[in-house]
Structure 1
Amino acid sequence: MSLDKQQLRTFYKELRAALSDEELERKSLEITDNVIAFLSERKELIHFHLFFPIPKQREINTYLIKEYLELNGDTVYTSRVESDSLILHTLLLQPYTKFQFDTWGIPVPEEFELVTNESIQVVFVPLLAFDQKGHRIGFGKGYYDVFLASLDPSVLKIGLSFFPAELSISPELHDIQLDYCITPENIITF
């Protein structure tokens, strides 16, 4: 029996909630190691869009990736949601900027510059689940699908997941497929 998107969201939220803090950090480190291995073979990539973890959602600790990118001299971007819309504004981060939490618990950089997204070469995409063809399930709001659709098709879309791929997830017309997904165990190409 296959699960629909809402059932998969519930299932993966429960799986994340069951991770101990130690497991979450260990898996985040393993994902970061695989990101570093992936990027070590792609030195031409220097402009990265990165999401930052919402603690209550038990997301991957992407601050570890940010630290690596900054030490490597790469440029790091993130996004901020525009009120009452699905638009994500692109923010250029200052090296070693600090973050604070907004009213929804989303990490927001204290220092940034609002920029266009033309320079972005890679987007690390948040997700709850993904399948063997690169389809993903997010939290259901659609922010990243709208954002990814606004980018040049050559931009690499890389999911980060604690868990392995589902066999199949039924995509919707607006869903944007991943190019890669990085887990603690694997770097998967679609």
Structure 2
Amino acid sequence: MKNFYDDIKSTKKSLRNEYNLIRNSNSSVVYEKVKLNVKSALKILLNKYHVEGKYIGIYWPLKGEVDIRFIKEINSLKVALPSSSKSKGISYHHWSNNQLEIDSNSIPAPTRKDAINPNDISILFVPAIAIDQEGYRLGYGGGYFDRLRQKDLWFSIPSFLVISNNCISKKPLPREKWDMPFNGWISEKGLHQIEATN
């Protein structure tokens, strides 16, 4: 007999398929508009949250995700990339010009660098397949970001999704007890901050 969590799991799976199709239908114009909005949102968020010398956490883009690696070229900013391990979860590492290596999920990552303490990161930008109005993310099913952000220090870092507007759900997405809300998103319509994240 199916239990409640099996139902959520299968609902999430079908929503992933649905939103992946939506996301893959986006034109390059949409992605360029999101990137422009990341640039302008970055100024607002840096002014609000950033402490000089701390890192901005970004991501290596996979298919369908908006490429925000240009943030690394902004001179005054130190950038961190995540490395995921199936046994240890996600850790963030300084992204210098050294060669990246493939992590356990086949994503390029600066695996040889020491992990960065969450106290040294001021903002996180994270990809997603979808997000709802309350900031709950639909990811790829590995639970990496939720497990990371269950730790208070990580949850306290202002964290925003970079996503196209057609992947922002009007209805609440299915969530499990470990799903953690984000502080908002950046889409082709701009920066949206969720004031109260419970």
Q: TM-score normalized by structure 1?
A: 0.80
Which position in structure 2 is the counterpart of 1:10? 17
Which position in structure 1 is the counterpart of 2:176? 172
How do 1:139-154 and structure 2 match up within 5 A?
139-152=140-153, 153-154=155-156
Q: 1:17-76 deviations in whole A, cap 9, x for unaligned?
A: 334xxx24x33332222122222233351521111112xx32211213333xxx241111
Which position in structure 1 is the counterpart of 2:76? 73
Distance 2:104 2:83 in 1: 13
- Summarize the Cα distance change of 1:100–1:120 in structure 2 as closer, same or farther, 3 Å threshold: same
Distance 1:40 1:59 in 2: 21
How do 1:1-190 and structure 2 match up within 5 A?
4-19=11-26, 23-24=27-28, 26-41=29-44, 42-43=46-47, 44-45=49-50, 46-54=54-62, 57-67=63-73, 71-82=74-85, 84-94=86-96, 96-99=97-100, 101=102, 104-109=105-110, 112-152=113-153, 153-164=155-166, 165-167=168-170, 168-190=172-194
Once superposed, what is the RMSD of the aligned Cα atoms?
Answer: 2.5
Higher helix share: 2
Distance 2:149 2:108 in 1: 20
Distance 1:73 1:161 in 2: 25
Distance 1:37 1:62 in 2: 12
Distance 1:110 1:143 in 2: 16
Tell me if structure 1 keeps the 8 A contact 2:95–2:110.
yes
- Summarize the Cα distance change of 1:98–1:15 in structure 2 as closer, same or farther, 3 Å threshold: farther
Shift of 1:151: 4.9
Distance 1:184 1:97 in 2: 32
Which consecutive segments of 4 or more residues in structure 1 shift more than 6 A?
A: none
Moved more, 8-17 or 125-134: 8-17
Shift of 1:102: 5.3
Q: Secondary structure at the match of 2:13?
A: helix
What amino acid sits opposite 1:33 in the alignment?
Answer: L
Aligned length: 177
Q: TM-score normalized by structure 2?
A: 0.77
What is the percentage of aligned positions where both structures have the same residue?
21
